[in-house]
């Protein structure tokens, strides 16, 4: 895989927390009288328990005599407004992220998440496995910032240099492997724009914190793009929470 120009990453949904089907059947059975009387809609109850946000609300109401209440948007918004964050630790989301070895350490430092990353120790890096980045000028007043006002000539030069360095380093990498040098040693010759794939799993609470932090100024632009794509997925999966966070 080769990612060029502004498309410097790929992010997609892998999974979210799902309610155990036997638990849903048990709850429906316990409430069968109320369902038969028309007090509760079985269809709405199942939909409520099957959704990530509904499951969080159901767990949040553990001390409530009305735990099966399917109207949960108000509860979740209240929890956010009152900073009752423990509710949002009850469900997880896992994303697949494709980025470079240069950006990956910035993601991996978020210790509240669990990670699995492509290992260059065990698997050989493919020949097309680089990202060609567009450079920016260093902001001399803010070390954490860069400015997109370089000339097209300088941008082109930098991109060409990335390609040339990759061609040389990958050729050396392959030669090292052919000489019997272990992959875990040969990988040291590869540059930071080598592609890596990782899986990032965390609670809804962790994702809220990560997206808020990494979507803001002070985060490297290439990492901001990843956070932005994660946010798009989050908004789709957790619309009520996103609305309360003013993310819509």
Could you tell me how far CA 20 lies from the centroid of its own chain?
24
Could you tell me how far CA 127 lies from the centroid of its own chain?
26
For residues 121 and 183, is the Cβ–Cβ distance under 8 A? yes
Q: What are residue 14's phi and psi, to 5 degrees?
A: -105, -50
57, two tokens: 């609300």
Determine the Cα–Cα distance for residues 226 and 211; give it in Å rounded to an integer: 9
Q: Among residues 2, 109, 143, 214, which one is catalytic?
A: 214
Determine the Cα–Cα distance for residues 120 and 104; give it in Å rounded to an integer: 13
Angle between helix axes 204-214 and 221-237 (nearest 10 degrees) is: 140
18 closest CA partner among 52, 45, 48: 52
104 closest CA partner among 174, 204, 14, 8: 8
Helix, strand, coil abundance in the chain, percent, nearest 5:
50, 15, 35
Residue 177: C-alpha distances to residues 101, 185, 220 (Å): 20, 9, 33
Examine the residue annotation and report whether 197 is marked as an active-site residue of this protein: no
Name the residues annotated as catalytic.
214
């Amino acid at each position: 895989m080769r990612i060029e120009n502004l498309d410097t990453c790929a992010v997609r949904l892998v999974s979210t927390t799902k309610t155990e089907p036997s638990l849903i059947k048990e709850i429906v059975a316990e409430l069968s009288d109320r369902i038969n009387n028309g007090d509760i809609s079985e269809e709405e109850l199942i939909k409520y328990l099957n959704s990530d946000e509904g499951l969080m609300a159901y767990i949040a109401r553990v001390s409530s005599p009305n735990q099966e209440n399917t109207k949960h948007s108000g509860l979740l918004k209240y929890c956010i407004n009152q900073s009752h964050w423990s509710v949002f630790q009850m469900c997880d989301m896992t994303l697949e992220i494709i980025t470079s070895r240069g950006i990956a350490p910035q993601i991996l430092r978020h210790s509240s998440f669990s990670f699995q990353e492509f290992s260059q120790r065990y698997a050989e890096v493919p020949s097309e496995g680089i990202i060609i980045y567009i450079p920016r000028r260093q902001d001399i007043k803010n070390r954490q910032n860069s400015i997109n006002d370089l000339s097209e000539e300088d941008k082109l030069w930098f991109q060409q240099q990335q390609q040339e360095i990759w061609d040389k380093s990958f050729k050396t990498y392959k030669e090292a492997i052919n000489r019997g040098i272990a992959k875990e040693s040969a990988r040291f010759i590869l540059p930071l724009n080598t592609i890596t794939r990782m899986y990032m799993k965390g609670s809804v609470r962790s994702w809220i914190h990560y997206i808020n932090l990494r979507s803001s100024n002070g985060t490297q632009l290439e990492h901001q793009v990843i956070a932005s794509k994660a946010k798009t997925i989050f908004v789709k999966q957790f619309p009520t929470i996103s609305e309360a966070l003013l993310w819509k």
